[in-house]
Structure 1
């Protein structure tokens, strides 16, 4: 479980997060949703420590990450897996080398142990026998799956963060990535957080949903409660997304 309390973040005069609090639950796909510019990606980066908060606390299983010393922060970071929006693969490294990268910097495993672990997670995401391929030789969907394999390659991972995992993907591939994220969350019983504005993802894997609007959390619930939110800003977001999806896909 991850808890964040009263998170504030501004860039110069622009307030991006204005006192946001919430709990991300273990064994669930926790979705941070909202239109572009509402602060959801900034919130994710504040939670994992990529961006410092101006105010507030972040706790990983009751361990205060905000005030943690260097050793505790290192321990917590070892338990975090990240899937970045672009995939963020190293173009000069093979699929195998990309997946093993966290093990290179976070563990003292032997080369054989790293390779064994890489093969396990590549098989889990359906990419066995792609070890020696370069990122330029695989599709966008495959790159996202390599990113997921890399995010979970360290067996210590307890928290998975996915920033717009369906960005740039066609609808069918997006569903496959959503399903894979959900399956891994259930299998590993980890705390998964997904930043998205895709209503298909929300309706497909939204165990817990937090809707941000102008830097504030204005609605919270699950995918079964969406139609009865009673929050105008959220209803407008849902309706706009449904209309856009219908226009794009007929």
Structure 2
């Protein structure tokens, strides 16, 4: 579980995050949504420690990240897996070596143990046959699956996904959503997803936080979001064709 309490962040006198609090539960797909420029990515970077909050706290299973010493922060970071918007694979490394990279940096496994772990993760995302290919030789959806395998290779407890469906066609995006949801449930991860993709929200949004101009305006889940009252959220939702279709089917 990850708890954020009263997070505030200002850049050059402009408040980007204002008194944000939320609880992201273990074993659930937790989503942070909102239009571009609402502070979603800044919040994500603050949670994972790339930004220091001006005020507030981030707790990983009770451990206050920003008040921890470097050794304790390193331990927490080793428990975090990241799926980046552009997959962020190393072009010069094979698929297998991309997945192996965190093990080389952070683990003391033997080479055979690394091989076994890499093969296990690639098999879990259905890419064991692509182990020796280069990123340029596989599709965008496959690259996202490699990114997921790399994110879980260290047996992460916390999985962060930044716009995981960016640049994907609808069918591939749906497959990535389902894979993230399955892995979250299977490994009992605390998963936090930043997205503006309403397909994802309606498919896997077990907890949803809506942000508007640096504020948390609403929280709920995919079953309650269509009846949410805040005008800002309704404007965001019903500018989306998919949500208008869902509402018409009720």
Which TM class, normalised by the smaller chain length?
Answer: over 0.9
Aligned to 1:240: 239
Q: Unpaired segments of 5 or more residues in structure 2?
A: 246-250
Aligned to 1:24: 24
Q: Does 1:137 align with 2:118?
A: no
Any idea what the Cα deviations from partners look like across 1:47-98, whole Å, max 9, x if unmatched?
Answer: 0001221111000000010100111111111110000101010111111110
Q: Is contact 1:24–1:191 with CA below 8 Å preserved after alignment?
A: yes
Aligned to 2:71: 71
Aligned to 2:201: 202
1:16 offset after TM fit, Å? 1.1
TM-score by length of 2: 0.96
Q: Secondary structure at the match of 1:7?
A: strand
Q: Secondary structure at the match of 2:116?
A: helix
Q: Secondary structure at the match of 1:126?
A: coil
Aligned equivalents of 1:13 and 1:124: distance in 2?
Answer: 46
How do 1:83-232 and structure 2 match up within 5 A? 83-155=83-155, 157-232=156-231
Any idea what the Cα deviations from partners look like across 1:161-192, whole Å, max 9, x if unmatched?
Answer: 00000000000100000000000001001100
Aligned equivalents of 2:87 and 2:104: distance in 1?
Answer: 19
Aligned to 2:33: 33
Q: Unpaired segments of 5 or more residues in structure 1?
A: none
1:3 offset after TM fit, Å? 0.3
Q: Secondary structure at the match of 1:37?
A: coil
- Superposed CA RMSD in Å reads 1.3
Aligned equivalents of 1:194 and 1:243: distance in 2?
Answer: 19
Aligned equivalents of 2:184 and 2:225: distance in 1?
Answer: 22
Aligned to 1:59: 59
Q: Is contact 2:237–2:243 with CA below 8 Å preserved after alignment?
A: no
Aligned equivalents of 1:126 and 1:204: distance in 2?
Answer: 21
Q: Secondary structure at the match of 1:90?
A: coil
Q: Secondary structure at the match of 2:20?
A: strand
Aligned equivalents of 2:95 and 2:6: distance in 1?
Answer: 39
Q: Cα 1:200–1:146, aligned 2, differ >3 Å: closer, same or farther?
A: same
Q: Is contact 1:198–1:241 with CA below 8 Å preserved after alignment?
A: no
Q: Is contact 1:17–1:39 with CA below 8 Å preserved after alignment?
A: yes
Aligned equivalents of 2:91 and 2:63: distance in 1?
Answer: 36
